[in-house]
Structure 1
Amino acid sequence: MRSCIVVAAWVVVTTALPGATTAQNLTRPVEPVVSRPAPAKDAPLSLAEVLRSSRRHAPQILEAIAKVRQAEGKVLSAEGAFDTVVKAEAESRLTGFYDGQIAGGTITRPIENWGGSLYGGYRISSGRFPIYEDERFTNNFGELKIGAVLSLMRDRLIDDRRFARGNARIDVDIAEADRLLTAIGVQRRAIGAYNLWVASGLRLAVYRDLLKLAQARQAGLVRQVQLGARPAIILTENEQNILRRETLVARAEQDLAQAANALSFFLRDADGAPMVPPTARLPTSFPAIPRSNGDPRAMLNARPDLRQIDLRMAQATNRLELDRNALQPRLDLKAEVAQDIGPLGEGGRSRAGTETKVGLSFTLPLQRRAAQGRIDQTTAEIDSIRRRRQQTEEQIIVAIDGLAIDVKATERLRTLAEAEHDRATTMAEAESRRFTLGASDFFLVNVREESAADAGVRKLDAAYRQIVANAELAAAAADLPALGLDARALASEDE
């Protein structure tokens, strides 16, 4: 009789399962990342197995991981602005009055914290050069030179190279936040698909039990009609029940096949190909769903969408510093030491001794409208990002508070529904015993069963709402351990 009572309950609850069970098991903790034996061929398929497969092979997650690698590549490219550069050149006069030849090389190393560079070089010449190329002469063993260029005002604290590198590093963090956001969405859909598949299997089992019950009752009714204890019309009425339940079984089998096909998007083999779960691996019940721990409001900063906004704010702040840097005049200091070595060359005594040079370069645009315009744009962008974060945070808080209310309300509603269902079940079972003894009629038995089924629907609906409320609260607060997406689980996908 209890199987009869559960039928209508499953019909109502499973109509909401595609969107509801998505959050139903978000709070299941991730298993430790260790080597596991392969599950038995017909062992019940667990939610942990589906989530593990989804994390490793879901195309959306793999795409997000690829975007993280892409951002890391941009960081390496930005670091290239600080690469050491080696330059070599040689020149020889083949014809003409002068026969001078020169060869040399320079190594330049950018200074990261001062916006300048260090350089050193060597050159050597031979032969004669015209007077307007007098600087090409060196002593017989060549000339060594070292120097530095330092920015004293503009580009001292920040320049285009350092800004690009900093922004590229923040882009990696943004990609990581997007990866987490994508993983949460994919895993929630995987949980929904898994629970829909389980629900379809349990519903099919209930319908098959109901069909067997009606078939067994038909055999008893046939005997009672033959003995004259029941009218023949009751056989027709029960045959109608059998046909209706056979229809329910057929529809449930179709729903199970559809649910298994949908689950195959998340359940994949070792090569990442979709894998339809066999019916033999259906569990006999839903997995337990622990509640989220901690204060949901205190976990706001863990939300990937808020973190992305904060990172965008950091990028805009860096851009504002760069724009303000463009307003400053440029004052560069250059210092250089050169030493010719070896016997005197064709250039004479002017190359003897150590040559030391110090110089300053000053540049000041009289009109700096371009830089001021960029400052105004960036300042407005920062204000816009700040308002966007305020709005997003307030929306999250309102959602969390609403879900907390739902959690408390659904707990009470579930308790009331369970009590009502117990009473209705007791009445249905009592009426069934009376029918067996001949003290009741077929119509009244059906009424009692339908009343008990309605109470069962309300009980399951209340339980479902409580599960969803707890899961949605964990999702809204980005409680990653409760969602099965803690840092260790995500790190394991890089292996």
Structure 2
Amino acid sequence: MAPLPRPAPLDAPVLQLDDLLANSARQSPQIIEALARTRAADAKRLTAEGAFDTVFSAEGGSRLVGYYGGTYADAKLARPLENWGGQIYGGYRASSGRFPIYEDKNYTNEFGEIRAGAVFSLLRDRMIDDRRFGRVTTDADRAVADAERQMVAIGVQRKALDAYLNWVASGERLKVYRHLLDLAQERQRGLDRAYRAGLRPRIVLTENDQMVLRRQTMVVQSEQAMAAAANALSLYWRDSEGNPTIPRREQLPASLPDPVVTAIPHDLQRPDLLVAELKTRLVQDRLALDRNALLPRLDLNMEVARDIGDIGPGGASRSGNDVRFGIKFSVPLEQRTARGKLMQTQAELDANQTRARWLDEQIRAEVDGIAIAFDAATQLIALSQQEKQRADTMAVAERRRFEMGASDLFLVNTREEAAASVALNLLDGHLKRLASSADLAASSGNAAALGL
């Protein structure tokens, strides 16, 4: 059972965005899981390399009963050629006794025969074959797994950034509501003194007290929202053992962070775009394999052999060096299977290329749309800052008028809450700009901006 989130230590430093993103990239279970899938792809690559393993084989036989009593043994070591269809091999065989004429090839001299040779594919399987395509496939799977890991990591970091911004923004909202409460409480103390001095009626004191209670409710609700945001952030902020850690209120930074990016990158580095390109290249390689199947098979076999030792029962014909040369040719006459696979792969390639082009266009349109939202948020922030200055000025002026008896609590409350509303709108504008910046980094595949 997973442990419950625990509060951060009392002496924990201020939690900065860079620290959170670094911690999330290192400790997030989703990213660790994606890394495990990458290791699994590495293991598949090793499995594909097994097709090129050196193979040792041996056989032997003996007649236990009968006219002939020959015994033979044969051992062979073969290694496939990685960049050319075929193999190289070497072997040793030895025999004793006599064999019937139809097993004459088993005869060797006294100390046996050593041989070495090679088989080369001259047409089919020369440039590509099933073994090499298997290696290409696992290479593509490894690259796809790494790109998918990057996609997972970008998604996790984007969510971590959202959780962090919500937590910091909840602290900023709490500041606004506490400022409102402080104003009402300070005014309550002044009104209480004025009431005792007979300068203010009781109803004014009651009205402001009601205002204090309402603003206390806002503060409590804001504190609850901040606690919920801190709890959500614990999914991305973990201790050295990987356990979720709830940040303390004292760890809140003084203000919201700067945008992670502010401009559209020239080159998109989206992992899903890379996956589409990898799959297209893999289909192109399979197309080459299907074209290879249309070629006739023409294999060249060359072998050198030498019997050693005294002449055996097979006679002098085994003595000296043997140099053998052979050719093997075969071709299907109709090629329907190969042509059908080729047509199928070509259609798949056309579909993949169209899909990759559409994905690229879609991503670029998405990035441009996010950039438009980022610029709009920047302009709205500038307007909200001006509006906030004026709202603060009006609230201060209204409080002075109230102190001089030229205004009432209703207008003061209206001005103060209007100023608070503008401050919250400004905060929301900053949040939208930061969210657009994070979306811009994620949609363009800017891993470095997200702490990866």
Amino acid at match of 1:408: D
Q: Does residue 284 of structure 1 match 2:254?
A: yes
> Is 1:447–2:411 an aligned residue pair?
no
Q: Percent identity?
A: 52
Residues 482, 308 of structure 1: CA spacing in aligned structure 2 closer, same or farther, 3 A cutoff?
same
Cα distance between partner residues in 2 of 1:373 and 1:203: 66
**Could you tell me which amino acid in structure 2 is paired with residue 91 of structure 1?**
G
What residue in structure 2 maps to residue 349 of structure 1? 316
The equivalent residue for 1:194 is 164
Matched, 1:98 2:68: yes
- Matched position secondary structure for 2:254: coil
Distance 1:250 1:452, change over 3 A: closer
SS in 2 for 1:362: strand
**1:249 matched to which residue of 2?**
219
Aligned AA for 2:62? Answer: S
The equivalent residue for 1:258 is 228
Residue 459 of structure 1 aligns with an amino acid whose one-letter code is L
Q: How far apart are 1:83 and its partner, in Å? A: 0.9
Match of 2:4 in 1: none
Give, in angstroms, the shift of residue 325 of structure 1: 0.6
Q: Secondary structure at the match of 1:475?
A: helix
Matched, 1:311 2:278: yes
1: distance between equivalents of 2:34 and 2:370? 29
Structure 1 residues 252 and 411: CA distance shift in structure 2, 3 A: closer
Greater RCO, CA 8 A, separation 6+: 1
Verify: 1:134 aligned to 2:104, yes or no: yes
Alignment match of 2:28 (pick from 51, 58, 66): 58
Listed one character per residue, the Cα deviations across residues 451-470 of structure 1 (whole Å, up to 9, x for unaligned) are 32343344333333333333
User: 1:259 & 1:455 partners in 2: Cα distance?
Assistant: 22
Tell me the residue number matched to 2:244. 274
Contact 1:306 1:392 in 2 (8 A): yes
- Is contact 1:292–1:482 with CA below 8 Å preserved after alignment? no
2:84 equivalent to 1:114: yes
SS in 2 for 1:316: helix
- Tell me: CA distance 1:260–1:462, structure 2 relative to 1, closer, same or farther (3 Å): closer
After superposition, where does 1:50-449 map in structure 2 within 5 Å? 50-292=20-262, 295-296=264-265, 298-300=266-268, 302-449=269-416
Q: SS of the counterpart of 1:71? A: helix
The SS at the match of 1:103 is strand
Mapped contact 1:147–1:337 kept (Cα < 8 A): yes
**Equivalence for 1:471:** 438
Kept after mapping to 2: 8 A contact 1:200/1:259: yes
Is the alpha carbon distance of 1:282 and 1:51 closer, same or farther for their aligned partners in structure 2, counting shifts above 3 Å? same
Aligned mate of 1:42, from 4, 7, 12: 12
In 2, Cα distance between the equivalents of 1:268 and 1:461? 28
Contact 1:323 1:371 in 2 (8 A): yes
Worse-matched range after superposition: 250-259 or 400-409:
400-409
Partner of 1:24: none
**Residue type of the partner of 2:381?**
R
- Deviation by residue 1:325-352 (Cα, 9 ceiling, x = unmatched): 1111111111112111110111112212
Amino acid at match of 1:378: T
Q: Deviations over 1:100-139 (max 9, x none)?
A: 2222310101112221011110011112222222211110
1:430 maps to a residue whose letter is: A
For 1:379 and 1:39, the matched residues in 2 are separated by 61
Contact 1:292 / 1:479 at 8 angstroms: preserved in 2? no
Shifted more, 309-318 versus 461-470: the winner is 461-470
| 2:180–2:420 Cα contact (<8 Å) kept | no
TM-score (norm 2): 0.93
Moved more, 351-360 or 282-291: 282-291
CA contact 1:92–1:100 (8 Å) conserved in 2 = yes
Deviation at 1:446, TM superposition (A): 1.3
Query: Structure 1 residues 202-211 or 393-402, which shifts more?
Result: 202-211
Two-structure CA RMSD over aligned residues (Å):
2.0
SS of the aligned residue for 2:267 comes to: helix
Which amino acid in 2 is paired with 1:117? Q
Q: How many Å apart are 1:39 and its aligned residue?
A: 9.8
Paired with 1:262 and 1:149, the residues of 2 have a C-alpha distance of: 64
1:462 aligns with 2:429: yes
- Structure 1 residue 225: Cα displacement: 1.9
Distance 1:192 1:380, change over 3 A: same
After superposition, give the CA deviation of every residue in 1:352-379 in whole Å (9 maximum; x if it has no partner): 2222221111111112111111111111
How many residue pairs match? The answer is 445
The 5 A counterparts of 1:2-21 are: none
What's the offset of the Cα at 1:157? 0.6
Range that drifts further, 122-131 or 146-155: 122-131
Which shows bigger deviation, 174-183 or 454-463? 454-463
Asked whether the 8 Å contact 1:299–1:478 carries over to 2, the reply is no
TM-score by length of 1: 0.85
Paired residue for 1:22? none
Query: In the alignment, is the contact (CA less than 8 A) between 1:91 and 1:101 conserved in 2?
Result: yes
- Relative to structure 1, the CA distance from residue 450 to residue 253 in structure 2 (aligned partners, 3 Å threshold; closer, same or farther) is closer
CA contact (8 A) 2:373 2:436 kept: yes
- Decide whether the 8 Å contact of 2:402 with 2:408 is kept in 1: yes
Q: Tell me the amino acid that sits aligned with residue 336 of structure 1.
A: E
Q: d(CA) in 1 for partners of 2:151 and 2:127?
A: 35
Range that drifts further, 335-344 or 272-281: 272-281
